[in-house]
Amino acid sequence: MTDRAFAVVRAGALTTVQDLGRAGHAHLGVPRSGALDADAHRLANRLVGNGPEAATLETTVTGCAVRMRSAGTVAVTGAPCPVTVDGRPAPWGAPVHVPADAVLEVGTAAYGLRSYLAFAGGIEAEPVLGSRATDLLSGLGPDPLSDGAVLPLGTPGAPVPAADAVPHAGPARELVLPVRLGPRDDWFTVAGLRTLLTGVWRVSSASNRIGLRTEGPSLERARDGELPSEGMALGAVQVPPNGLPVLFLADHPTTGGYPVIGVVRESALSAAAQAAPGTPVRFVRAHSGF
Amino acid sequence: MTALPAAGPRTRPAESPGLRMRTLPVGDHGLLVELDSGAAVEALHAELLRRAAAGLLPATREIVPAARTVLIDGLAEPERFAAELTGWDIPPATRSGAQTLEVPVRYDGPDLADVAELWGVTPEEVVRIHSGTEFRVAFCGFAPGFGYLTGLPERYHVPRRATPRTRLPVGSVALAGPYTGVYPRSSPGGWQLLGTTDAVLWDASREPAALFAPGTLVRFVPQPFDPHPEAAQ
C-alpha cells in the first residue's frame, strides 16, 4: 500500500492546515476559521485537481518544507515565493510533480504574507465539526505544523488539469476595504464616521488570523461603554476603546461587546490576508450590488 | 413597557403588537435583530429554529442569539427578510416539556465567601439559591461550549473581580453580571468562582460536541466535597 503522506522538514513561522472552515457553529461559540486567503486556497486546490473543500497548508511569511512519502502533484499559490523540489527551482502558481522522498520547499514570501500549498488528494487530517481547519482562537483542528510531524494525504480524484495561467495582481501598495456601515455606526460621531471613510491606517504587526489590527487615527465615539455581547460576523470592523479599527478575520470570536462600525465585503478579505504590517489601509463605502 | 407578554400560557392579548424589534444591517448578507429583553431574544430564536425545521426559513449560514440580539448571517436578501420578519407573529417561548440538564457541582470555589457578602447571605445560602435556580443557556461565545446562563434574579447579579485570575481551572462554575458560566477549558478570567464540575462541557469527538447550546435548561446539583483537602495530606 502506498504511504500517502508527507513529513514536515521545516514547519516555518506558522503553518496551519486550512480548508473552507466550519461555518454553522457560531451559536456554540465556534469560530468559522478556514483559509484567510480563500481565493488562493481555492486556486491551489484547482491546480492539483481537488475540490475547494480539500485541506491545504497555509504558511506565514517564511514558508515551509515537506518531504513527500509518495510521488504526487502539488501547487503553491497566495503570497509569491520561490518553490524548489530537492533544491531545483519549480514554478509557483502551477502544478508541480514531486517524486517520492523529494523535499518540496516553499520559500519566504517575496511579498504578501500567506502562501498556500495544495496536495493532490488533499490533507486528510482528522476533521472537527466537518472541517480540518486549524482555529488558533479556540484551538480546534490540527495543531500548527511542527518539525517532524507526518500528515496523511487523500487519494487524488480528478486528473490534474493543464496548467492555468495564474493571474496575480502584484504587491498591493495599499489595502482598500469596501465597508458597509452598521450595525453600530450610530455609536460613532459624524466626525468618527468621516474619519473611517477618509482616514489612512497602517496594518499593525499585532495582526493575526483572528483580526487585522490597525495603527492610525482613532474613531470618535458618540457614546461610551460596551454593548451587551452580540454576534460578530466575518469582516466586522470592531472598534475597541482605543478607537483603532480591527478587521475580524476567519478565527474571530463569535460574540463581542465592542461596537462594529461596519462590515467589510467578504470578497476583499483575501487581500486583507496578504497585507503585510505597515501596508496602508483605507475604508471605502461599499455600494449595494456587486 | 414590554411588548412581550410575561412568561405563562401560550396566549397573548388580542391587540398584541408582537415583538418590538429593530433590524440593523451586517454587511451584504447579514442582519442583526435587536430586541427589548432576553425573553424576546429567546422567543425570536425559538421561532427562527421552528421555521428552519419546517423549511420555512431562507438559507442562512449562522443564527447567533446573544444578550439582546439575534445575528442572522448568510441571507441572500437580508432587506427582504427584515421586512418579512417584522410581520411575524411570534409567541413567547415556552419551556414546557423541555428536558433539564443536571450538572453536578462541588461548591468549593474561592469566591464563594465574596459572593455571599455581595448577596448579603451566608455561603450555604449561596449554594442553596444557586442550585435552586433553573438556568437557561441564553447564548454561547468566548470559547467553544462556553454558555452564558441566565436565571438568577437581578439582586444576585455580581460584578467581575477587580483583578482577573490568570488561570481558572477547567470546569469552573463562575458568576459575572447576570450570567453563570462553566469554563470548558482552563483560561484566564475575571468571573467569581463558585465551584467546579467534572461535567465535560466540550468534546469535539462527541455528538453533540457542546453540552450547552442556546436554549438548554440547566440545574446545578451540589456534590459533597472535602472542605479541607490540605488537612488530609
Residue whose entry in the numeric block shows the C-alpha cell 467553544 = B144
Residue A123 shares a structural domain with residue A192: no
> B94, B125, B157: which is the final residue of a domain?
B94
Averaged confidence pLDDT in chain B:
89
Q: Say if residue B139's pLDDT is above 70.
A: yes
Question: B64 and A255 in contact by Cβ < 8 A?
Answer: yes
In a domain, A170, yes or no: no
Residue A132 shares a structural domain with residue A213: no
What nine digits make up the cell of B202? 466540550
Residue B110 shares a structural domain with residue B89: no
The total domain count for chain A is 2
Q: Say if residue B125's pLDDT is above 60.
A: yes
Residue A244 shares a structural domain with residue A108: no
Q: How far is A182 from chain B (nearest CA, A)?
A: 6
The total domain count for chain B is 2
Q: Which domain holds residue A46?
A: 5-152
**Burial of residue A165, with CB atoms counted within 10 A of its CB: 0-12 exposed, 13-18 middle, 19 or more buried:** exposed
pLDDT at B19: 84
Query: What strand order describes the sheet that includes B100-105?
Result: B100-105, B217-222, B135-140, B147-150, B179-182, B172-176, B192-196
Query: Residue B180: phi, psi to the nearest 5?
Result: -110, 140
Interface test with B, best of A137, A248, A254, A287 (most B CBs within 10 A): A254
Which pLDDT tens digit goes with each residue over B28-43? 999 999 999 999 999 9
Sort out which chain B residues have CB atoms less than 8 A from A129's CB and list them.
204, 209
**Beta strand segments in A1-114, E:** 5-10, 16-18, 56-58, 64-68, 72-78, 83-85, 88-90, 96-98, 103-106
pLDDT bucket at B140, cuts 50 / 70 / 90: very high
Q: How far is A126 from chain B (nearest CA, A)?
A: 10
ipTM of the complex in this document:
0.94
> B58, B73, B94: which is the final residue of a domain?
B94
Helix B112-119 vs helix B123-131: crossing angle, to nearest 10: 90
Residue A146 shares a structural domain with residue A237: no
The H-assigned helical ranges of B56-131 are 78-85, 112-119, 123-131
Residue B115 shares a structural domain with residue B206: yes
Question: A230 and B213 in contact by Cβ < 8 A?
Answer: no
pLDDT at A48: 95
Which residue of A lies nearest to B68 if distances are taken between CA atoms?
Answer: A228
pLDDT at A248: 98
**Residue numbers in chain A where pLDDT is lower than 70:** 1-2, 161-165, 167, 288-290
pLDDT at A288: 60
CA distances from A219 to A115, A178, A261 (A): 33, 17, 9
> B94, B109, B126: which is the final residue of a domain?
B94
CATH at B140: 2.40.100.10
Tell me the HSE value of A256 on the side-chain side, using a 13 A CA sphere.
22
Q: What is the DSSP letter of A61?
A: S
Which pLDDT tens digit goes with each residue over B87-110? 899 999 888 778 999 999 999 999
Residue B120 shares a structural domain with residue B26: no
Residue B87 shares a structural domain with residue B158: no
Q: How far is B98 from chain A (nearest CA, A)?
A: 19
pLDDT at B13: 37
In a domain, A166, yes or no: no
Residue B41 in 3-state DSSP? helix
Q: Which domain holds residue B203?
A: 100-232
pLDDT at B93: 86
First to last CA, chain B: 58
Residue A110 shares a structural domain with residue A184: no
The stretch B166-183 carries a mean pLDDT of: 95
The answer to whether B159 contacts chain A (CB < 8 Å) is no
Q: Which of residues 183 through 222 in chain B touch A, CB cutoff 8 A?
A: 185, 204, 209-210, 213-214
pLDDT at B48: 97
In a domain, A290, yes or no: no
Residue B186 shares a structural domain with residue B112: yes
Sort out which chain A residues have CB atoms less than 8 A from B63's CB and list them.
27
Q: Say if residue B150's pLDDT is above 50.
A: yes
**Distant-in-sequence, close-in-space partners of B63: CB < 8 Å, separation ≥ 6:** A27, B45, B48, B49, B52, B70, B71, B72, B73
Work out the angle at residue B156's Cα, subtended by the Cα atoms of residues B150 and B161, and round it to the nearest 5 degrees.
95
Residue A135 shares a structural domain with residue A83: yes
